[in-house]
Structures are given as C-alpha cells and as structure tokens.
Amino acid sequence: MQFWIVVLGVLFSYQGVFAYPLIPNPKVTQGELCSKDNPDFEALRYLEKIPYCKRNVSFEKRQEIYDKYRISETCRHRYTIDHFIPLAIGGDNSDSNLWPEHVLVKELRPSLELELYYALKEGRMTQDEAIDTIIHEKMNAQNRLFNALAQDECDRPS
C-alpha cells in the first residue's frame, strides 16, 4: 500500500492540466478498509471473509468532500462521490476513502467494480489483488483521458 501512496503522489502532480481531479489526492484520499469495529460493518463476505460496510455517505459528507477538493457548486453535477476502495471489495465510508470522481473518469471503467466483485465472490481473486487492480485503474485514468472531449466548462482543461 505504501508503494501506491508514492505512485499516487507522482501521478497527482501530472493532473494540473485538467480543471477536475483525474485521480484521488493522496493527501486527502488514501483509501480505507472496513473492519468489524466500524459502525457501518454489516457482514463478512466471500471465501476470504472480508469485512463489508454498508453504504453510508450523507449529503453533508458529500459536500465536505467536494469542498476538500475545491469543486465548485456549479460543477458538482458532473461528479459522483466515489469510494476509492469500493465497498464491494472491503472499503469503508471514511473521508479518507472518498473522492469526487468526474463522469469522464468514471466512464473509462464502467464495469470494473462489478468484475472485481464477482472475482472476489467466486474466489478467483484475493482482496489484495482486487485493491491493487482498483488502484492501478484509478491511478492511470489520466493516460486514457488526454483525448477525451470536453462537454462543458466543468470538463475543460485548465
């Protein structure tokens, strides 16, 4: 995980070209796993017995995350608050696991989380492998986005 934090830092430095975050800011969003002690803990899942937290992100918390990332209110309709480590693979609802994901970034990997969910459920992948895959995919978004077309002022490169 420490390796990925370094990778996050390097990749984050490249996103100054865009007006929106391409990847989570590693100073704000490092990723966090659910545990049995978490108030949102619901059950252990899969063969690996991974703690699962139910979704619990209030409107107020979403606004705080947008504010941390300095996303203007006029552009928030182009984002969803995303779990960096998805709940389905053991992430939690803490601020350090949430970030505003732009719709153009999300469109790059529409079925990734579902594919990882089934791989974990069927025992074809471990939680560590799923997390590595998520981090790799989310941290390489900028490589696939340079040719994306801007749809409105919230999408334009700065």
Tens digits of residue pLDDT in 40-70 = 999 999 999 999 999 999 999 999 999 999 9
> 88-135: per-residue pLDDT in tens?
999 999 999 999 998 887 887 889 999 999 999 999 999 999 999 999
Residue type, 135: I
Number of residues that make up the chain: 158
DSSP per residue over 28-75, as a string?
A: T----B--TTSTTEEEEETTTTEEEE-----HHHHHHHHHHTT--GGG
Q: What pTM was computed for the model?
A: 0.79
- Which residue would you say has higher pLDDT here, 52 or 27? 52
